[in-house]
């Protein structure tokens, strides 16, 4: 496989950007959304630069479709990731609510407070 110059430069640039995002995050300079979205974007850019033909061919063959279906597939993948993220977030919220409720009950029942009331 012959490497074009861009196939080397683009991944390096991506790596630099991701590193920059990570270190900005560590110093609390960047929000998380920024870091995750940014990193995913740069990662995707790097991977596509490295294997431009590979992905489209593989995916088309996998689904037995020759036409340019990539966009649809990646859209679906994106959707799945989005819902996965939403679900995880919702579960965390529920867990937190449950813990807060548990804590409230525990603290209301503890003896010292009952005596006071």
Cβ atoms of 18 and 43 closer than 8 Å: yes
Residue 56 Cβ, how far from other proteins at the closest point, in Å?
32
Query: Longest Cα pair distance anywhere in the chain, in angstroms?
Result: 81
Residue 93 Cβ, how far from other proteins at the closest point, in Å?
11
Cβ atoms of 94 and 86 closer than 8 Å: no
Residue 67 binds other proteins (CB under 8 A) = no
Residue 3 binds other proteins (CB under 8 A) = no
Residue 84 binds other proteins (CB under 8 A) = no
Residue 32 binds other proteins (CB under 8 A) = yes
DSSP reduced 3-state for 60:
helix
């Amino acid at each position: 496989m012959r490497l074009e110059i861009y196939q080397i430069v683009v991944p390096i640039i991506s790596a630099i950007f991701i590193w920059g995002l990570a270190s900005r995050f560590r110093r609390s300079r960047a929000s998380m959304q920024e870091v995750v979205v940014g990193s995913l974007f740069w990662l995707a850019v790097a991977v596509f630069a490295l294997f431009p033909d590979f992905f489209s061919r593989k995916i088309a063959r996998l689904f037995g479709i020759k036409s340019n279906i990539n966009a649809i597939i990646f859209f679906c993948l994106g959707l799945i990731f989005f819902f996965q993220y939403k679900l995880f977030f919702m579960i965390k919220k529920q867990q937190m609510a449950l813990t807060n409720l548990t804590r409230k009950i525990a603290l209301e029942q503890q003896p010292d407070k009952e005596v006071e009331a």
